[in-house]
Structure 1
Amino acid sequence: MTTTYDRLFIGGSWVKPSDPELLDIRSPHDQSVVGRAAQAQPADVDRAVAAARTSFEAGAWSGTPPHERLAVLRRYNELRERNAEKVAELITAENGSAAWFTLAGQGGLSRQANAYFKAAENFDWEAVLVPSDPASPFRSIVRREAIGVVAAVIPWNSPFSAANAKIIPALLAGNSVVLKVSPENSLSMGFLAELLERSGLPQGVISVLPADRATSEYLISHPDIDKIAFTGSTRAGRTIASIAGQQLKRVSLELGGKSAALILPDADLQQAVHGLKFSSLLNNGEACIAQVRILAPRSRYEEVVTALKELVESLKVGDPLAQDTFIGPMIRRDHQQRVRDYIRAGIEEGARLITGGSHIPAGLEAGNYVTPTLFADVDNSMRIAQEEIFGPVLVVIAYDDEDDAVRIANDSEYGLSGGVWSADTDHALSVARRLRTGTVTVNGAPIGFDGPFGGFKTSGIGREYGAVGLGTYTEYKTITTI
């Protein structure tokens, strides 16, 4: 049974698209059609932006008190929680993400939302400043107000998480939003639109548009967009930053990564390898935060390689709907080929292939599958160590001492995530503080949602999550009075 969305969700209503042709959404597992959906064109973007602008200028949502906005977003999150299994099933069907990952991720979505709700409850929407000069007869009121119309553009790999990271804080702050999603996610994001429709948002406040890259660029270039919030590749981020700079739009960018996991000499290797199963190979390796550069001390190098080999070879690859599948297919044929090309490049560069390779797993030729691959004897200058592969490919790099490990970890254009493993937590924290990256986990602790998330260097501009993430969707206004 397939799911069909033959209408677009624009300004809170389901309307006929300007192009009636529907896109077939195919399973990455076997290429079967799992759904069909309308795709937005520039004319649809114009309608969505106009609806957002009208609603914002009228104060239909921006003029609503923060506690009332919070109540509506809580209602949306409750609807999502009640439909968690359906959300997970749709993402697995269209993305190829393994069922264990999509279902487990629903709990993460709740924690993500609750962190924003807590931040909104305690946010200084308006504050009176104490004058620095006690004799001053003037006082200043500092307000945090909505920016305006937000274009939120998200990738295909984790659609609900990426969408919530943007629409929840943007809406809590009083903005109107046009959410542009990838064509591959037309089904899960169509369902997201249904949940938003039922949550009680005023007309015009939000639109959900599946569309290609050309239409996405049309959206972010639109003169009535006040802020761009983007998650995706660093290359696309550069283009968006250029457009935002030319038009002086507010912009936040969560971009790529090539994160390192530092295994210190005293680390419990069994614990570390079990943790790396999830921090390095989550979501089929199609995750910007994946810790895919494994830094191992020379004194334990072969021990680490052997343990990782056993891990990689133990992971079941196959139908993402099967409960015991850990790694499913890549999202598209072209991406499957891209990952396989990187594996070939690693062999050509002289890395030692420990397990895996560029062949397609036997019996899975109909899908977009890649054999999970582990390389050893990798120099950090190699392409497989420097470029984001976005697939189940790990590289093990040897280091001489702690300073060398930190140097190698920081020797990257990216700086999104990272990890440190040690029997001494305090020592691991001291190493974590030396890493030039936006988020570091110690001994497998999960990334929290109360603190800011984002990247150093080419991994992005700005932060998401919690109070900091909420604040990026507001403007400061200072009012001085007697």
Structure 2
Amino acid sequence: MTATTEDAREITVDDRAHIYLDGKWVEPTGEQDLVAVTNSGSGEVLAKVAQASMADVDRAVQAARLATERWSSSSVAERAALLERLADEIEARADEIACTVALEVGTPLRMSRLLQVGLPLSVLRGYAADVRELELEQTIGNSLVHRTPVGVVGAITPWNYPLHQIAAKLGAAIAAGCGTVLKPANVAPLSAFILAEAADAAGVPAGLLNVVTGEGPGVGEAIAGHRDVGIVSFTGSTRAGARVAAVAAANITKVALELGGKSASIIAEDADLTTAVKASVRHAFTNSGQTCTAWTRMIVPRSRLVEVDELVAAEMAKMPVTHPLAEGARLGPLASAAQKRTVEDYLEVARAEGLREIARGSVDDLGHEGGYYVAPVAYSDVPRGSRLAQEEIFGPVLVIVGHDGIDDAVAIANDSDYGLAGGVWSADEERAVAIAKRIRTGQIDINGARFNPRAPFGGFGRSGIGRELGRFGIEEFLEVSAIQQ
């Protein structure tokens, strides 16, 4: 990546005409054209990347299978050391990754450094610590219970937190003793190439990581349907996850699915309203709402809706949308033209439903055409059955729902097909924990507690199957056998 002018917003990213197989950069087979990756801030082509063929996927799976056979005999100390070296090499490329993902996804640069680079580093180093404590064998009665690698991990990752989602799967695979075939999302694949370079420098054994870029219906389904893949680990939309599971089912291949969300932030009547509302707004609009765990439903005491509306509007006024590399940017564009259209369609639904808009953010004068900019919007006193209160939008849209007491708030929070994340706010922490235990969701924060990259991550219902991160993420990639003695 090189700067082409004094304006940091105008940069050149090299095309990626090769894929990474068995420790080498190789040309894909077949006659597929390079795929354009667009700059979210301008709408222009940022770079072009290779498309793998079905034959390339098979080569990658076979390389990963052989690497798994070799790596499965490594010690936990060797696995931990490799994860730490990989994290160090990624950290050495932090500026390049942060800038690249900012342009692909629209994440403001400061936030990109914290989340798009800092979080994957915490995840990998967390795996290194957890694998050292992993018990691969234990005795139960007259049985030796032995944990062994599940086999090749087919990792299909999304575009919103591209490197983090790769680290969540690749780190667990290395810790468990598995080779990986990775297909990053076409919208934001470039950090996967930087990762492969970091893997080379870290001494990741050949075949332990293979990167095959391409379309989901082609490359993704080839991975999901391959007989030699031991588990398909997918993060993305619920619709796409259902398709992955259906394809994998033909071979009875295990799946781990981290899918959509429509998370609720419950604010109890005794909560510090100002703190809770401000934090909930920021959480809802993190990464311009392109976050599966975003608290896009704010459930507040009905008697305090007027106060809440004023606080939400005041907080949103501090969050203009601007170019992701602009100094001090807090909200950037959406990642693609398709995502922008999706959000705009939901704004039309809101108008058709007659929802009451109480705040709309601003888009800065950007000085150029293009880019996928959408101003954040908040609606108040939204019926719990509204499409905007039920469906994942994946953009900067917040709905505020009134509750008539905690029992009602819990019922509203659980009135969803999803169960991925959420928050509870109360002056009484013990009470807040009791409320949290009633909510069917995979992870929930009390009074804005920080994210823990070593805790299990995953959802209930249509939010997915299985868990990622920490010890639970490693165990997802292990099989268990009992040896009677």
- Using structure 1 for the length normalisation, give the TM-score: 0.94
Q: CA deviation at 1:51?
A: 1.3
Per the alignment, residue 135 of structure 1 pairs with none
- Structure 2 unpaired stretches of 5+: 1-11
Is 1:63 the equivalent of 2:66? no
Q: CA deviation at 1:90?
A: 1.1
Per the alignment, residue 134 of structure 1 pairs with none
Is 1:110 the equivalent of 2:113? no
Residue aligned with 1:476, SS = strand
Q: CA deviation at 1:365?
A: 5.2
Distance 1:416 1:439 in 2: 6
Per the alignment, residue 52 of structure 1 pairs with 64
Matched-pair contact (CA < 8 Å) for 1:346–1:384:
yes
Is 1:211 the equivalent of 2:217? no
Matching of residues 417-436 of structure 1 within 5 Å: 417-436=421-440
Distance 1:350 1:21 in 2: 45
Per the alignment, residue 226 of structure 2 pairs with 222
Is 1:452 the equivalent of 2:449? no
Letter in 2 for 1:328: G
Of 120, 136, 151, 2:131 maps to 120
Matched-pair contact (CA < 8 Å) for 1:286–1:392:
yes
Distance 1:54 1:475 in 2: 18
Per the alignment, residue 168 of structure 1 pairs with 171
Matched-pair contact (CA < 8 Å) for 1:275–1:443:
no
Distance 1:234 1:205 in 2: 28
Q: CA deviation at 1:61?
A: 1.3
Per the alignment, residue 355 of structure 1 pairs with 359
Distance 1:398 1:128 in 2: 53
Per the alignment, residue 392 of structure 1 pairs with 396
Matched-pair contact (CA < 8 Å) for 1:4–1:187:
no
Matched-pair contact (CA < 8 Å) for 2:85–2:202:
yes
Distance 1:204 1:107 in 2: 26
Is 1:278 the equivalent of 2:282? yes
Distance 1:74 1:362 in 2: 43
Letter in 1 for 2:355: A
Aligned residues: 470
Distance 1:369 1:206 in 2: 35
Per the alignment, residue 40 of structure 1 pairs with 52
Matched-pair contact (CA < 8 Å) for 1:316–1:327:
yes
Letter in 2 for 1:102: S
Of 178, 181, 190, 2:181 maps to 178
Q: CA deviation at 1:80?
A: 1.1
Per the alignment, residue 90 of structure 1 pairs with 100
Per the alignment, residue 407 of structure 2 pairs with 403
Percent identity, please.
38
Residue aligned with 1:247, SS = coil
Letter in 2 for 1:8: I
Residue aligned with 1:303, SS = helix
C-alpha RMSD over aligned residues: 1.6
Matched-pair contact (CA < 8 Å) for 2:305–2:381:
no
Per the alignment, residue 412 of structure 1 pairs with 416
- Using structure 2 for the length normalisation, give the TM-score: 0.94
Per the alignment, residue 9 of structure 2 pairs with none
Is 1:11 the equivalent of 2:22? yes
Matched-pair contact (CA < 8 Å) for 1:265–1:299:
no
Residue aligned with 2:419, SS = coil
Q: CA deviation at 1:160?
A: 0.8
Residues 438-479 of structure 1: per-residue CA shift (max 9 Å, x gap): 111011112212221110111010111111111010011222
Distance 2:307 2:191 in 1: 42
Is 1:343 the equivalent of 2:347? yes
Distance 1:37 1:244 in 2: 26
Matched-pair contact (CA < 8 Å) for 2:38–2:336:
no
Is 1:380 the equivalent of 2:380? no
Distance 2:222 2:286 in 1: 33
**Moved >4 Å (runs of 4+):** 359-365
Distance 1:20 1:236 in 2: 23
Matched-pair contact (CA < 8 Å) for 2:80–2:129:
no
Distance 1:264 1:249 in 2: 43
Matched-pair contact (CA < 8 Å) for 1:361–1:369:
no
Q: CA deviation at 1:149?
A: 0.8
Distance 1:408 1:122 in 2: 40
Q: CA deviation at 1:36?
A: 2.2
Matching of residues 187-198 of structure 1 within 5 Å: 187-198=190-201
Residues 403-451 of structure 1: per-residue CA shift (max 9 Å, x gap): 1000001000000001011122111111111111111101111221222
Distance 1:293 1:365 in 2: 32
